[in-house]
Structure formats: structure tokens, C-alpha cells
């Protein structure tokens, strides 16, 4: 079975490496011609596989190379570009994609972020057959996992959904080779689709309930970083903990700070922040942040 891998970054590299180790017939790799594709390019060069660097999958040269490589199956391993329909028509068996949610819930580019932000206690991954919609194609397989109470988007992805996703992609190839890969239609009535989790949505509202604030910070950690303002500068908050207790302070008010955290009043309790970042500087601990901005008890974020 002739495979094309389209991907980037560590996930694309690990999927490609797993397929090479299994001696699958990978005939071509498509990846961005910049830092995002460097590791995959190096791996193809060591393995004698055709590498095609492209910033846009709709480029005519991509179509020509697809036709030349004659793939049976195309695998999307962390792809942020749209795959044009005419490319989907080329592989004889179709195109499959990894998505880090239990589709049809959390379609879109920031599935892990929104699962945590919305307070989901379970999520997972889906390998699905790609069609012309966004994350709408039939399901090949799914794996379900628990979202821990202290998980962030980063921990959930790197500790669980990343390694599980690599194994799932390999499992999907095996099912397809054996003719046992299902195509289960998604139930569109249960679908959710959220926007990219970027600075358009990452502004904190300390007036919300404590669990909502806590989930929001975790869901934006490490990217894009939930943010507020202090003395006119944007401050991003990471490494959050929460303490539910009666409190009479105003939302966003600094209660105290020490080496471990900056403690912020919210409705129904306190949010403790272990790391902060001002504007485009590096993340720092609570005390270093406090000293750098002249923080005092009674100061307030967002004002």
C-alpha cells in the first residue's frame, strides 16, 4: 500500500518514523518548507523517501506530485492547511486524518483547548476519513481518555493525545490494509465547532465563576496564554490552581503573592498563578513578576 504523509512538527515526525520502522511503503512526504518541516525532511533524507516542501497544499505542483507518486492512502499528521478536493480524489483508498477530540464534538483547530475551557471531563482522539468539510468525514476509529482536574492543553496533548495519536495512526493503517476499516458517519446533530483559540478569545474575565476562570486558564496553557492587563500591559497567566472559599475581595484583586504564586480574587474563591509573562518577555515566577512590575496587595488585574 503506497502511502503519502502530509504533516509537520514532532507529531508528523513521530508518525512518519513509526511507519518507516514498520517498513510501510511511504512514497512521499509533504511538509512546510520551514522549521515546521525540518525534522520530517531530515527523516526522509535518511530513509530515501521523496520530500516535497510546500507552504500551500493547493499549489499546482502538489497536485502534479500526488499524481506522480500514485498513492493508495494519504495520511494527515498535524496539518493546518486545507486539503483541496482534487487532492482527495487521487488516492485510491482515500485520505485519513488525526484529530484530538471525540468527533463530532469540538471540530476545528483548537479542539483540546475548548474541551478544557468548556469543562469536559473526558475527551479523546479520532482518526477519520477526510471529505470536503472541516472535520466532518466518517470515523475510522476513536480513543477516549479522561481529562484530569489539573490538566492543561499542553499536558493533555503531550502526555496523552500525542503518543496515543501516533499509535492510532499506525493502527488505522493496519485496519485499512486488512480491509477492516469502518466508515462510521458522524452525527451532525451532536457537532460543535469552536473558533481558533487565539488572542481573539483569550482575554480573561475575573467576574466569571471560579471553575470557569480556572478552566479557561488551563485551556489556554501554554498557547495562546489567557491574558489580562496590569498597568496598561498585557499579562499572560499559567500554572493555575484554584481554592474555593468565601471571599469579599473584588474580582481580579491581588490578595497576596509569594515564591509559589500570585493569588487573585474571583467569584467564589482564589486563583493561584505560578507563572506569568508580560507582553513578549519570558515566563517568570510569581515573585520575580511582582518585583518587575511593582505589584502590591490590593492591586487589580484588568484595570
> What are the chain's domains?
2-190 (3.40.50.170), 210-293 (3.10.25.10)
pLDDT over threshold 90, residue 240: yes
The whole-number average pLDDT for the span 207-230 is: 97
- Spatial distance between the Cα atoms of 230 and 225, rounded to a whole number of angstroms: 15
Its pTM stands at 0.96
**Tens digit of pLDDT for each residue in 107-135?**
999 999 999 999 999 999 999 999 999 99
Residues 6 or more apart whose CB falls under 8 angstroms from that of 291 comprise none
Q: Where are the beta strands (DSSP E) in the chain?
A: 2-7, 25-31, 50-53, 73-77, 94-99, 122-129, 139-146, 226-230, 233-244, 254-257, 262-266, 269-278, 284-285
Q: Which residues pair with 139 in a beta bridge?
A: 128, 184
- Spatial distance between the Cα atoms of 250 and 302, rounded to a whole number of angstroms: 11
- Model confidence at 246, in pLDDT bands (50, 70, 90)? confident
Amino acid at each position: 500500500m503506497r502511502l503519502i504523509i502530509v504533516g509537520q512538527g514532532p507529531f508528523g515526525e513521530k508518525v512518519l518514523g513509526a511507519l518507516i520502522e514498520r517498513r510501510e511503503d511511504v512514497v512521499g512526504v509533504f511538509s512546510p518548507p520551514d522549521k515546521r518541516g525540518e525534522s520530517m525532511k531530515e527523516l526522509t533524507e535518511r530513509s530515501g523517501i521523496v520530500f516535497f516542501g510546500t507552504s500551500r497544499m493547493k499549489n499546482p505542483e502538489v497536485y502534479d506530485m500526488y499524481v506522480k507518486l500514485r498513492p493508495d492512502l494519504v495520511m494527515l499528521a498535524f496539518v493546518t492547511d486545507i486539503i483541496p478536493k482534487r487532492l482527495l480524489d487521487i488516492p485510491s483508498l482515500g485520505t485519513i486524518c488525526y484529530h484530538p477530540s471525540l468527533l463530532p464534538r469540538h471540530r476545528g483547530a483548537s479542539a483540546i483547548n475548548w474541551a478544557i475551557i468548556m469543562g469536559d471531563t473526558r475527551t479523546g482522539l479520532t482518526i477519520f476519513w477526510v471529505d470536503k468539510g472541516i472535520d466532518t468525514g466518517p470515523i475510522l476509529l476513536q480513543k477516549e481518555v479522561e481529562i484530569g482536574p489539573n490538566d492543561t492543553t499542553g499536558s493533555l496533548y503531550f502526555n496523552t493525545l500525542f503518543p496515543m495519536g501516533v499509535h492510532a495512526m499506525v493502527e488505522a493503517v493496519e485496519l485499512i490494509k486488512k480491509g477492516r476499516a469502518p466508515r462510521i458517519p458522524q452525527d451532525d446533530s451532536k457537532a460543535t465547532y469552536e473558533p481558533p483559540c487565539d488572542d481573539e478569545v483569550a482575554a480573561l474575565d475575573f467576574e466569571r465563576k471560579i471553575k470557569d476562570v480556572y478552566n479557561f486558564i488551563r485551556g489556554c496553557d501554554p498557547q495562546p496564554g489567557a491574558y489580562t492587563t496590569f498597568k496598561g500591559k498585557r499579562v499572560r497567566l499559567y500554572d493555575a490552581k484554584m481554592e474555593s472559599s468565601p471571599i469579599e475581595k473584588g474580582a481580579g484583586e491581588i490578595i497576596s503573592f509569594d515564591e509559589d504564586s500570585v493569588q487573585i480574587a474571583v467569584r467564589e474563591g482564589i486563583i493561584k498563578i505560578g507563572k506569568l509573562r508580560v507582553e513578549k518577555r519570558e515566563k517568570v515566577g510569581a515573585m520575580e513578576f511582582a518585583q518587575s512590575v511593582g505589584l502590591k496587595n490590593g492591586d487589580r488585574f484588568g484595570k
